[in-house]
Amino acid sequence: GRMGYGVGNSETGRESAANREQRRGRKDEHVDLAVAQQPHGNDFDAIDFVHDALAAVDVAEVDLRAKIGPVTWPVPFYINGMTGGTEKTGQINRVLAIGAAAVGIPMATGSVSVALDNPATAASFRVIREENPHGFVMANIGAGRGAEDAQRAVDLVEADALQVHINAVQEIVMPEGDREFAHWQRNIAAIVRAVEVPVIVKEVGFGLSRRTVETLRELGVAIADVGGTGGTDFAAIENARRKGREYAYLAGYGLSTPACLLDAGCGNSARAVGADGFPILASGGIRTPFDAVKALALGARAAGVAAQFLRLALAGEDTLVAGLNSWKKQIRALLALLGAKNPVAATETDVIIRAGLREWCEARGID
């Protein structure tokens, strides 16, 4: 694998000057274009809670800790993998890490491929650990990279877990993108065997179907992050970055985050992938703490946020810290309102599923 969020050459560990320029342009453009995509209606709007006016518990009674397979987080939400590799994105990582440390929020790096190919860019990722020495940090790498690179990614930020992204749709839309995908499953299995930290496999905004989640479980992956549609759309972003726009029709392609959670039978012991409840994270289109709590109610163990926290980070560290504290406060309050003393208890809430999401459930035999 060579392309994706990075353009490198894992054989030589070097990249050409032209590739380097191209990659630098892409990293900064991804930030600008993602922030410009306005939050819009998505499938979280098709989920209503059946309000029970006497269900609420005391806010102080809510234990926010999230247990996700082998890891425990202080809160049931996290800053998802975004960026690094340039001066500007290194600054963004610094702000995100300061926010993560101040509020105690788990955080992922963007794809570190660029730093493996060009060590001069490593500082833009290492800052994430330097500013947050004791927090939960995840490294991020594409499934096109091998086990050795995966370990180097973990070492770069002394990561507590590794996110491996799978992004075939994005690669296809990019003319310079990867065209070899068949080895991804083998790579994932090798990475799981090689690295000591838990491996989380994530989509980047096109979703994981039940079949994909089952495959990941069989490959030995510890946690799946469905990374569905409803928020940042990398098909639209990659189309916007070039003239031809051959794949313009792929904007909106994929599975919505709530659809993925329902398909995988998250929070529904009768339908869950794996009898012991394979742990699943929700990301993609989480716009508000309310969306995060809806994801918890559908059985996600925690909710990942990328673009919304990027917007806060661009406004500066004070805005980000205030925003993260506010999310934490609101998620606690909303869980109390639902009568959930912890994130998992939110799955006991009754919800109504409307509109297109309901059609999805019918088509997939979910009741």
Q: Which residues are at the interface with ligand FNR (CB under 6 A)? A: 5, 30-31, 34, 80-83, 110-111, 140, 163, 165, 202, 204-205, 227, 231-232, 283-286, 305-308, 310
112 close to 84: Cβ distance less than 8 angstroms? yes
Question: From the CB of 206, what's the least distance to ligand FNR, in Å?
Answer: 9
DSSP 108: E
* Calpha distance 290→4 (Å, rounded): 32
Strand 351-353 relative to strand 47-49, pairing:
antiparallel
304 close to 77: Cβ distance less than 8 angstroms? yes
Task: Take residue 222 and report the two structure tokens written for it.
Answer: 């510890």
Question: From the CB of 40, what's the least distance to ligand FNR, in Å?
Answer: 11
CB crowding 10-41: b at 16 or more within 10 Å, else e: beeeebeeebbeebbebbbebbebbeeeebee
Q: Which is nearer to ligand FNR, 288 or 319 (CB)?
A: 288
Question: From the CB of 285, what's the least distance to ligand FNR, in Å?
Answer: 5
> Counting beta carbons within 10 angstroms of the beta carbon of residue 278, is it exposed (0 to 12), middle (13 to 18) or buried (19 or more)?
buried
Q: Which is nearer to ligand FNR, 132 or 283 (CB)?
A: 283
Task: Take residue 285 and report the two structure tokens written for it.
Answer: 């289109």
Question: From the CB of 170, what's the least distance to ligand FNR, in Å?
Answer: 9
Question: From the CB of 50, what's the least distance to ligand FNR, in Å?
Answer: 27
Q: Which is nearer to ligand FNR, 23 or 217 (CB)?
A: 23
Q: Which is nearer to ligand FNR, 111 or 336 (CB)?
A: 111
Nearest to 89 by CA among 313, 319, 304: 313
Question: From the CB of 228, what's the least distance to ligand FNR, in Å?
Answer: 8
Q: Which is nearer to ligand FNR, 154 or 307 (CB)?
A: 307
Compute how many other C-beta atoms are within 10 angstroms of the C-beta atom of residue 177.
Answer: 17
In what helix (H) or strand (E) does residue 352 lie, and over which residues does it extend?
strand 351-353
* Calpha distance 367→344 (Å, rounded): 20
Q: Which is nearer to ligand FNR, 191 or 336 (CB)?
A: 191
Q: Taking CB positions, which residue lies at the least distance from ligand FNR?
A: 231
186 close to 145: Cβ distance less than 8 angstroms? no
Question: From the CB of 42, what's the least distance to ligand FNR, in Å?
Answer: 9
10 close to 141: Cβ distance less than 8 angstroms? no
Q: Which is nearer to ligand FNR, 241 or 341 (CB)?
A: 241
Q: Which amino acid is at 310?
A: L
* Calpha distance 28→34 (Å, rounded): 10
Q: Which is nearer to ligand FNR, 109 or 349 (CB)?
A: 109
Q: Which is nearer to ligand FNR, 227 or 299 (CB)?
A: 227
Question: From the CB of 233, what's the least distance to ligand FNR, in Å?
Answer: 8
Tell me, rounded to whole angstroms, the distance of Cα 179 from its chain centroid. 23
Question: From the CB of 363, what's the least distance to ligand FNR, in Å?
Answer: 24
